Amino acid sequence: MFTDAPNFDIRNYLRMEMMPHFLCPGCGHGMALRALLWALHELDIDKDKLAVVSGIGCAGRLSAYIDANTFHTTHGRPLAYATGLALARPDLHVVVISGDGDCLAIGGNHLIHACRRNLKLTCLMLNNEIYGMTGGQVSPTTSETRLTTTTPLGNTEPNFDACALATAAGAGFVGREVTRHVPKLKELIKAGLQHPGFAFVEVLSDCTEVYGRKNDMGSSAEMVMRQKSEMRPSVYRDSVDTPFRSTDLPTGILTRNDRPEYGASLRRAAALASKGAH
């Protein structure tokens, strides 16, 4: 038990029979899992009213460890499964856990449409800038110049700013935090869970074993310290006439609005239809 959370015993929220977990030592995804479970604890969310849906990858694997209703789905598709679940069971808290590859590469189309619909569910995208599980291929969030197994000369593609993308696509709530600040991340996840629409939370996580080694980023402790001192850059340009420039990524709540929630709109339309209004 940590002193910052005297009433929170993470073991009450984990399937202890699944231990030891498969994460590499120092993997940031473990800190993200702790922040999520802590947020659920502080909001006093009944485990029977919680459904965690995940895709495939090291991030996707986390649902297996959570003692709730969990659904480990196919690569890139957790938002599609979660959409059906949240529509059928609006009484549930539906949380999606997805990696940057899962959510933005193969699953990118599902993400933008989930943002556009604004259905009430919470999507945590664990961004370690790499396909960790499959040995370290480049992802849509890999920073430029970084080495991966598929960019042996250094990545030359500009990366996505996932939060800007989610905001532009219409998500009602968008935020970003680093795993280094677990209490801050917990607060951000809590705010997302309480939002009455689609909440997208980007978690800047570290793949120590694959990305860290490949890019000579030092120990897992050094990687996590680096999160504070040098935020990972995203690529922007001010206008089509100016060159690309790197900027720090902002953290915290970046977007919050009260756009109509999709499930409620759909139920309202169905109720009107059943009264013969159409």
Ligand X SMILES: Cc1ncc(C[n+]2csc(CCOP(=O)(O)OP(=O)(O)O)c2C)c(N)n1
Q: What residues from 7 to 36 belong to the interface with ligand SF4 (CB under 6 A)?
A: 23-24, 27, 29
* Beta-bridge partner residues of 200: 123, 174
**Residues 6+ positions from 38 with CB-CB distance below 8 Å:** 5, 8, 10, 182, 186
Q: What residues from 199 to 238 belong to the interface with ligand X (CB under 6 A)?
A: 207
CA pseudo-torsion sign 71, 77, 83, 88: negative
Can residue 162 be called a binding residue for ligand X (CB under 6 A)? no
Span interacting with Mg ion, options 13-21, 47-55, 109-117, 127-135, rule CB under 5 A: 127-135
CA pseudo-torsion sign 161, 164, 168, 172: positive
- Smallest distance from the beta carbon of 57 to ligand X, in angstroms? 3
Out of ligand X, Mg ion, ligand SF4, none, what residue 208 binds, judged by CB under 5 to 8 A for its kind, is ligand SF4
Contact 179, 35 (CB under 8 A): yes
Q: What residues from 112 to 141 belong to the interface with ligand X (CB under 6 A)?
A: 126, 128, 130-134, 139
Span interacting with ligand X, options 57-65, 161-169, 173-181, 264-272, rule CB under 6 A: 57-65
Burial environment of residue 144 by CB neighbours within 10 A (0 to 12, 13 to 18, 19 or more): middle
CA angle (172, 97, 176) in 5-degree steps? 50
C-beta closer to ligand X: residue 10 or 24? 24
Contact 211, 130 (CB under 8 A): yes
Per-residue mark of binding to ligand SF4, 119-138 (x: CB under 6 A): ---------x---xx-----
In the chain, the amino acid numbered 204 is: L
Can residue 207 be called a binding residue for ligand SF4 (CB under 6 A)? yes
Positions touching Mg ion (CB under 5 A) are 99-100, 128, 132
Positions touching ligand SF4 (CB under 6 A) are 23-24, 27, 29, 58, 128, 132-133, 207-210
